Structure 1
Amino acid sequence: MENHHPKPVENYMTANMILIFVNLMWVFVALWSYWGLGVVLILAALLNRLITRIDMARRRRDAKFDGI
């Protein structure tokens, strides 16, 4: 029986980040044009808080895992 190893895939991180940025921008522009800048600022602050909480939870989880 032959042993077929999977080939390494390309790193699409940069392309994904650009697409997330573009999508976030058009959503922000649409919200800004409909409800105003205040809603966009509140949403941006909430997204920032959510990303920070996810980062802190991952760091806590990784700190508890010693790898033993």
Structure 2
Amino acid sequence: MDHRHPKRVEDYTTANLVLIFINLLWIFGVIWAQFGLMAVILSGWVLNYGVTRLAQYKASRAIQWPRKSDA
């Protein structure tokens, strides 16, 4: 068996963040055209709330169950 180290992969974080931004723009544009500005504001607030709750959940899980590498 050949023991070769895996090669480094490129970091696509910036590209993914740009694509998320572009997708949010067109989705908010469609919501605005169909339902109005208040629906865009409300959906943005809901997304922000959901991301905040997810971050809180992940932080609480990290505190409760530390990984073996952390110990």
Q: Does the pair score TM above 0.5?
A: yes
Task: Please name the residue that 2:54 is paired with.
Answer: 54
Partner amino acid for 2:53?
Answer: R
**Percent identical across equivalent pairs?**
38
Alignment of 1:65 with 2:50, yes or no, is no
Q: Report the alpha carbon displacement of residue 65 of structure 1 after superposing the two structures with TM.
A: 2.7
Alignment of 1:43 with 2:43, yes or no, is yes
Partner amino acid for 2:20?
Answer: I
CA distance in 2 between partners of 1:54 and 1:64 (Å)? 15
Task: Please name the residue that 2:5 is paired with.
Answer: 5
Structure 2 runs not aligned, ≥5 long = none
Cα RMSD of the aligned pairs, angstroms, is: 1.1
